[in-house]
Structure 1
Amino acid sequence: MAEISQAPVQLMAMGTEDAKCDFKPMEMYRRPLGDYDVLIDMKYCGVCHTDVVYANGRTSMFMKPKYPAVPGHELAGVVEQIGPKVTKFQVGDQIGVGTMIDSCLSCKHCKNGDEQKCKKTVATYAGEDWSGRAAPYPATREVPGKPGKKEKGPLIGGYSTKCVIFERFGVKIPNSFPLEAAGPVMCAGITMYTPLKDHGAGPGVSVGVVGLGGLGIMGIKVAKEMGCHVTAISRSRAKEEIAKRAGATSYIATAESADLAAATQSLDIILDTIPCDHSISPYKKMLRDSNSRLVLLGLCPQMVGALLAANVLGPRSTVTFSITGGITNLEELMALCDKAEPKIVPQLKIMPVEELNNIFTILETSNDEALRYVLDLSTLNKETASRCTSSPPKMNAGEKPISGGDVMRNCCSIICGECSPCCCWHCMTCGLCWSKKSRSKVSASE
């Protein structure tokens, strides 16, 4: 094996200097290759709405961006070099990387292949290295605007030409699977597959998918392949044809009262992919019984509220959440997508990196074509700057940063949904997570 260079890996990345999300090419570095590291020659990276929310600073309450920010957690490329102790990959392998790049490796969750549940999980671009296995380069930097004060360097996501990854968090992509489609499987695919598997999806199970963007359409395809009866759910009938082409057997337009009435208590699992503040009440009424589950997947106050509520209600709550999936599930999903006839691939649009601002604008609107947008990283080089002529993306003016108050109102609504109105009103205005009165009512209802 050739000797490993101890020099940092030079690369080009698409980054934004601030929350305006005006992306430009930047020269950056990744850490030198370690014993268990894989150097990836990046070919493609999908663009997820979470990238938009993060780069725009709307996650600052719990995930504050460090600028310049380089998002991207739908990575696909080819192994260029491996560390001397790597056993999972060989040079030339196709490889994908998803939403996380490290965890403790020793807790019960990590041992079960559920690394996403580990308390020390490191997100691909929004996390902070603690072990050295996800170290940025340089490891520290001066805090912007605070001379003399140091902080850990920002992690670089997938909008880049090279990536260095700890081998455990890479996923081998079969040569028979189109590499350009692999990135969205790492995020959209696993986001849908994990809750389907966790909540017993299979033949005879009725699954509803709320929100028919690229994530929802991918969910329809995965649920169908698992043998489920799939119902697509959207505000209007504009995306009915797209949903049925993807495999949906039924369709609910929530703006039509007749559809809502017919859908009452009809679904076993509902996957809600909406990534902005919205009411979940119509979907709760569609749940068949107390064993059915409404799973919130989009990064919004409702999902974060469900995350907090789970600490009180545990697995008995009919409203729950899911955040990505572990490496074992990701490898299972990759095999499922590759072996399906036809193969399960997201509906893609591959675009040059200079279109990134425009892609962000599309994802902030309704994504009418229900596509997953993928960056062609062969278009990222020093000459890219001259082609980056688009204005900064048009952000959704009505979508404010997720606040503690929004989260707690949704948390309390989930916990105390069956309580008296006065109790719920107190819960949602007291400024605490929930009142003693509410807590006792929840306990009494068990």
Structure 2
Amino acid sequence: MTNTTITDTGTAAAGGTAEAGRIAVYAAPAPRAPLERTTVPRRALGARDILIDVRYAGICHSDIHQVGDDWAPGIFPMVPGHEIAGVVAEVGPEVSRWSVGDRVGVGCFVDSCRECDNCRAGLQQYCTGEGGVVFTYNARGRDGAPTYGGYARQLVVDEQYALRIPDALALDTAAPLLCAGITLYSPLTHWGAGPGRKVAVVGLGGLGHLGVKIARAKGAEVTVLSRSLRKREDGLRLGAHDYRATSDPATFTELAGRFDLVVNTVSAGLDLSAYVGLLRTGGTMVQLGAPDGPVGVNAHALLTGRRSLAGSMIGGLPETQEMLDFCAEHGIGAEIELIRADRINEAYERVLRGDVRYRFVIDASTI
């Protein structure tokens, strides 16, 4: 593995950001390039900032998309990672929420306008204010400097954008909850998954396996819809009541009109009309995966049952904390494969092959 050093590109010039040394990270130096061990500048601790010693960072499929420039031109060098679990190492002089030694997590964003209707409602992920939401990496902060993610030894973040990880959750299995967990918890909560409700989870991967656990813990009857029955034993072990193969046309006939809620975690293009047909009258299908192209549905599939097609993106700060507390109460963590940092590129290749059950997590002490 090649070691390189990233220069302080854009930091001082963009906003006068004070630098407080450098931190060890794994970064992609250019689009689609293998990640390398290097260093990046760490901004000085502001009055309301906390310094986190990163212990674990999950690998999300969206990390691979962004390193690959699949969605939009990225900011390189890029340090991915928005499933971050660690311990507070230092606090700014005006910090009131945290003390050194607290167990904290950071998810997909590290700032927002704080003033728009969505921010005031605790829906910071949908910030509509000036500049919008500031993502944990591959973005620019209010100071104009690039944001760097969790494939790092340390992270500086505003105290308001960190979450408390309950003692009942192990930090390594909690890390993926900061993206994958909240991505499922939010729609399952919003659309009322619970006793007497039938929920289908499309795809049993990094997102889907947590959807099964959370929906079951909420009291819903859970069915996994997966291309094949290869992971059926896992699905039932994780809490599913039923597991069906979508490659079998009989699945869509036998389950037609069955579900109150279908959550689609798959990023590949699917025939959404077929899945909408699985909904009861008044049911909702929620799109969570982000395919490269547009998604669509036959209007008749919606009209004939007053069905809805919706979308959902992660969750706001209050709901993410609620999710962590819920998972602690119910003993829910991600199923993980813990890896050394020098295996990140291998892990990316395996994610693309679907060869992970169900989330890679980086041991940040190996960076």
- TM-score, normalized by the shorter chain, greater than 0.5: yes
Indicate yes or no: 2:180 matched with 1:188: yes
Distance, in Å, in 2 between the alignment partners of 1:186 and 1:18 is: 26
Which structure's residues are more often helix, by fraction?
1
Show the counterpart of 1:377. 364
1:79-98 superposed matches below 5 A: 79-98=88-107
Distance, in Å, in 1 between the alignment partners of 2:231 and 2:277 is: 22
Show the counterpart of 2:117. 108
Distance, in Å, in 1 between the alignment partners of 2:89 and 2:275 is: 47
Read off the aligned partner of 1:8 and give its amino acid letter. Answer: A
Distance, in Å, in 1 between the alignment partners of 2:289 and 2:234 is: 20
Read off the aligned partner of 1:241 and give its amino acid letter. Answer: E
Show the counterpart of 2:277. 285
Q: Are the equivalent residues in 2 in contact too, given 1:212–1:370 (CA < 8 A)?
A: no
- Give the 3-state SS of the residue equivalent to 1:328 in structure 2: helix
Indicate yes or no: 2:337 matched with 1:325: no
Q: Are the equivalent residues in 2 in contact too, given 1:49–1:275 (CA < 8 A)?
A: no
- Give the 3-state SS of the residue equivalent to 1:105 in structure 2: coil
Q: Are the equivalent residues in 2 in contact too, given 1:21–1:357 (CA < 8 A)?
A: no
Alpha-carbon distance, 1:301 to partner = 4.0
Distance, in Å, in 1 between the alignment partners of 2:133 and 2:32 is: 28
1:246-265 superposed matches below 5 A: 246-265=238-257
Give a deviation string over 1:299-350, Cα, whole Å, max 9, x none.
2146x657xxxxxxxxx8711111100011111111111111xx10110110
Q: Give the gaps of 5 or more residues in structure 2.
A: 1-17, 297-305
Distance, in Å, in 1 between the alignment partners of 2:307 and 2:44 is: 46
Show the counterpart of 1:383. none
Distance, in Å, in 2 between the alignment partners of 1:9 and 1:170 is: 22
Alpha-carbon distance, 1:193 to partner = 0.4
- Give the 3-state SS of the residue equivalent to 1:159 in structure 2: coil
Q: Give the gaps of 5 or more residues in structure 1.
A: 1-5, 133-151, 307-315, 381-446
Question: Which residue, out of 4, 7, 20, partners 1:8?
Answer: 20
Distance, in Å, in 2 between the alignment partners of 1:265 and 1:21 is: 46
Indicate yes or no: 2:212 matched with 1:223: no
Q: Bigger radius of gyration, 1 or 2?
A: 1
Read off the aligned partner of 2:157 and give its amino acid letter. Answer: I
Q: 1:244 to 1:39 in 2, by over 3 A?
A: same
Show the counterpart of 1:99. 108
Give a deviation string over 1:122-153, Cα, whole Å, max 9, x none.
111133223x4xxxxxxxxxxxxxxxxxxx44
Show the counterpart of 1:391. none
Distance, in Å, in 2 between the alignment partners of 1:257 and 1:27 is: 52
Question: Which residue, out of 345, 349, 360, partners 1:361?
Answer: 349
Indicate yes or no: 2:324 matched with 1:334: yes
Show the counterpart of 2:6. none
TM-score by length of 2: 0.89
Q: Are the equivalent residues in 1 in contact too, given 2:57–2:151 (CA < 8 A)?
A: yes
- Give the 3-state SS of the residue equivalent to 1:95 in structure 2: strand
- Give the 3-state SS of the residue equivalent to 2:280 in structure 1: coil
Question: Which residue, out of 273, 289, 292, partners 1:298?
Answer: 289
Give a deviation string over 1:210-239, Cα, whole Å, max 9, x none.
011121001100011111110000011111
Indicate yes or no: 2:138 matched with 1:129: no
The RMSD of aligned alpha carbons is 1.8
Distance, in Å, in 1 between the alignment partners of 2:205 and 2:134 is: 27
Distance, in Å, in 2 between the alignment partners of 1:9 and 1:196 is: 42
Alpha-carbon distance, 1:110 to partner = 1.3
- Give the 3-state SS of the residue equivalent to 1:243 in structure 2: helix
| Moved >4 Å (runs of 4+) | none
Read off the aligned partner of 1:190 and give its amino acid letter. Answer: I
Q: Are the equivalent residues in 1 in contact too, given 2:212–2:238 (CA < 8 A)?
A: yes
**Matched length:** 340
Distance, in Å, in 2 between the alignment partners of 1:299 and 1:72 is: 17
Aligned residues with identical type, % of pairs? 34
Give a deviation string over 1:28-79, Cα, whole Å, max 9, x none.
112100011010011110000000011111011xxx2111111100011100
Show the counterpart of 1:406. none
- Give the 3-state SS of the residue equivalent to 2:96 in structure 1: coil
Distance, in Å, in 2 between the alignment partners of 1:207 and 1:9 is: 49
Which structure's residues are more often strand, by fraction?
2
Distance, in Å, in 2 between the alignment partners of 1:99 and 1:317 is: 30
Q: Are the equivalent residues in 2 in contact too, given 1:45–1:375 (CA < 8 A)?
A: yes
Show the counterpart of 1:40. 52
Q: Are the equivalent residues in 1 in contact too, given 2:27–2:36 (CA < 8 A)?
A: yes
Q: Are the equivalent residues in 2 in contact too, given 1:72–1:157 (CA < 8 A)?
A: yes
Show the counterpart of 2:302. none
Distance, in Å, in 1 between the alignment partners of 2:225 and 2:357 is: 13
Indicate yes or no: 2:90 matched with 1:78: no
Distance, in Å, in 1 between the alignment partners of 2:168 and 2:247 is: 42
Q: Are the equivalent residues in 1 in contact too, given 2:75–2:139 (CA < 8 A)?
A: no
